[in-house]
Amino acid sequence: MNNFDTVELSTPTMMRHNNTNGNSGKKLRVVTFNYLPSAYKFVTDWIHENGHEHVLAVTSPGIKTRATPAYKDVLPLIPGHVSTIVTSRMNSVLAPILPHFKPDIILCFTFAHQVAQDICQIPTYGAVNIHPSVLPYYRGPNPLRQFYDGADVYGVTAHRMAQGYDTGEILSQAYEPLPEIVTQDTAVRWGQLIKNCIASGMESAISGKPGIRQDDGQATYGGPFKEEEKWVDITEPTAVIMRKTLALNLAGGLAKTIINGQAFKIHSAHYLSNAKRMPAGSVIKKAANMHEVATADGAVKLITELYDANKKYCNVLSRSMFFGQQIGAERLSLS
């Protein structure tokens, strides 16, 4: 990956907190780290709702092992009065500049780089990362595995940034049992949990409350989806098909399947109740860009198109529901 540096300077069952306004009585100078537009919107909403000042937005094209092209979609969202740094060189570019902004706190949500502790210690109240899983479960770049795997709970964690990815002390968590049937409504609810967790986590950080140390022995890793995982088996139970399809499509429209020997890209899956029982994998009904298929225990309606192995799918969500927000297309790099 090419290094790209631009600086534009203008003149729980683990732990829950009630949603608070996050306002310490002082107007804080906040630095944000993001590469996804939806994550940028979450953190800037918190800044504006609590009367703080957004002094610097940091974004990046990512690292060699994890490109983050969606940073280009963040740039148009940054107001002209907010200074902007686009860089893949945290230590040589960001570290020398950051003290000049006199930051009170760093708020990070979706960022591929491991941020050095020297940088995290510059702000008055340190650095907080928002990781959209119930840590220490599903650390790493792909928290969507909590849906794909059918975890007991889904949610989000606010934690202090530490030496390892997603390993810092927990400041706040918000989570709920994963529904038996996962739908787009689950993604919307996830967004609500994220908003609450940011508020309570930032309140804890600003007030100096100690965090809860993570149990590394319980930690699991959310790695990128492998190619074989992107193929949804329609003979599995309905709940499995629903959650895998949602997870893959939140990761950028990755869900695919085989129906009657043909490959299809799945745009969405919809639960069908009281469907006629037929052998798993059978086609109940077919129309343009739609298949109703029998599953191991019921049926689903799939919105589909023929899959072309030679077509370059760009992994774009036309109306992104990632983190429950609809703010335009997002190119994700979770796979």
Domain boundaries, the chain: 6-218, 227-331
Burial, 52: exposed, middle or buried (Cβ in 10 Å; 0-12, 13-18, 19+)? buried
Could you name the CATH architecture of 6-218? Answer: 3-Layer(aba) Sandwich (3.40)
Q: Are strands 83-86 and 53-59 parallel, antiparallel or unpaired?
A: parallel
Tokens of 84: 């902007």
Residue type, 27: K
Please determine, for residue 95, whether its predicted confidence score (pLDDT) is greater than 70: yes
Better-scored residue on pLDDT, 248 or 315: 248
Model confidence over 215-241: pLDDT tens digits? 999 999 999 999 999 999 999 999 999
Which pLDDT belongs to residue 210? 87
**The pLDDT value given to residue 21:** 44
Supply the pLDDT for residue 220: 98
Interval 138-151 mean pLDDT: 97
CA proximity to 147, closest of 187, 112, 201 = 187
CA atoms within 13 A on the CB side of 311: 10
Binning pLDDT at 50, 70 and 90, where does residue 252 land? Answer: confident
CATH topology classification for 227-331: Methionyl-tRNA Fmet Formyltransferase; Chain A, domain 2 (3.10.25)
Percent over 90 (pLDDT), the chain = 80
Asked whether residue 308 carries a pLDDT value surpassing 90, the answer given is no
Residue 147, classed as helix, strand or coil, is: helix
Lowest mean pLDDT segment, chosen from 38-52, 83-97, 308-322: 308-322
pLDDT at 311: 76
Average pLDDT, rounded, for the chain: 88
Examine the pLDDT at 9 and tell me if it is beyond 60. Answer: no
Contact 282, 294 (CB under 8 A): yes
Q: How confident is the model at residue 84 (pLDDT cuts 50, 70, 90)?
A: very high
Across 299-334, b (16+ Cβ under 10 Å) vs e yields bbbbebeebeeeeeeebebeebbbbbbebeebbbbb
| pLDDT tens digits for range 180-201 | 999 999 999 999 999 999 999 9
pLDDT at 19 over 80: no
- CA distances (Å), origin 267, targets 86, 129, 307: 33, 31, 11
Res. 276 pLDDT band, cuts 50 70 90:
confident
> Beta-carbon neighbour count of residue 124 at 10 Å?
12
Q: How many CA atoms lie within 13 A of 102 on its CB side?
A: 3
On whether the CB atoms of residues 128 and 108 are closer than 8 A, the answer is: yes
